Amino acid sequence: MTGGYVQSEQQALKSRWMIWCEGRIFIVDLAEGLHEKVVVDVNRAMRNATGTGDNNLVSSGAAYIGEHRRTLPADVSALLALLEPDCSFGPRENLRGAELPPSFNWWTFHTLKVEVGVFQTWGGPGGLDFKTDAWRQCPGVEYVLCIHISADLNVCQFRLDSTLNGDMPPTDIVNNSVLEFDARRLLWLPPGADLPAGFNDPVRVNLFNVVEPILTAARRQIALDQAEQALEDAAGLPRH
C-alpha cells in the first residue's frame, strides 16, 4: 500500500518529504527555499570538484532504487526501496572499470548519497541519522553526506560517513570545512585502476564556501522581512 502511494506521487505533499517508519508516515522536511538552495549548490559543487564536470561522476537527483529491492534481503528492501535522497552521485554509464552490483542499472546505482535537513534534525523517526544508517546498507554506497541547517540559521552542521572509515559525529561547518572523497570509490573503480583523464583525486569540496553565501543571503532576507513586518505593525496593518 505504501509503495503504491509513494510511486503514484498524486498526493499534495511529495514522498521526498515523508518517510514510512514504524508503521507510520512522518513528514520530515519541506521544499522551502533554504533547503532547495543547499541541495542545488551542493550538487553544483560536487560537479565542479571532480575536474571533469558530470562527464564521469553523474548526478541522479532524488532517484530511489525501486525495482532493484527484490535483490536485497527483505528487511533492507523495505527500508531502502523507495527512500529518496536529496541528491545522489554515481559513475556514468559504462565507465571503463566500473562494474555494477547484481541487478542494478546505471540510473539507480550511486556511490554518494546526500541528505539535507532544515526542519529535519539528526535524531528521531526519519531523521538524518536514520537515513545515514539506511543508506549504508545499500549496495555500492561508499559515502553518505548529511547537512543540517536549522530554519533559524543558528545550527549549521555536517556529517560525512564512509563505509570504510565508519561514522562521524555531527560537526559544525566552519571555515575550511573540507570534504575529501577517494576518486576511485566515487567512480566504483578497483584500487589502482586508471582514472579518467582530468578527474581529480582526491575530490575535495569546501563545504563552508558552499553554505556561507546561502546563510548570508538568508540572514539578509530575514532582516528585510523583519523590517517590513515592523513597518506594517507600525502602520497598524494586519499580519499575514
pTM confidence score: 0.84
- Rounded to 10°, the helix 207-234/33-49 angle is 160
**209, amino acid identity:** N
Residue 232: band (very low, low, confident or very high) from pLDDT cuts 50, 70, 90: confident
Q: pLDDT tens digits for 119-160?
A: 888 987 788 998 999 999 999 999 999 999 998 999 999 999
Backbone angles phi, psi at 234, to 5 degrees: -65, -30
Rounded average pLDDT over 16-44: 69
Lowest pLDDT segment from 16-25, 43-52, 112-121, 211-220: 16-25
- In this predicted structure, which of 77-81, 128-132, 236-240 has the lowest mean pLDDT? 236-240
- C-alpha cell, 85: 535522497
Does residue 90 contact residue 106 with C-beta atoms inside 8 Å?
Answer: yes
All three cell numbers of 138, joined, read 545499500
Q: How confident is the model at residue 57 (pLDDT cuts 50, 70, 90)?
A: very high
For 110, 210, 216, 226, 227, the CA distances from 221, given in Å and listed in that order, are 35, 18, 9, 9, 10
Give the Cβ contact number of residue 39 at 10 Å.
20
Rounded CA separation 109/118 (Å)? 26
Return mean pLDDT, the chain: 85
Name the grid cell of 119. Answer: 526542519
Among candidate residues 95, 104, 163, the one with its CA nearest the CA of residue 134:
163
Residue 231: CA count within 13 A, CB half-sphere: 5
* Residue 167: how many other CB atoms lie within 10 Å: 14
pLDDT at 163: 85
In this structure, the strands spanning 112-117 and 87-91 are antiparallel
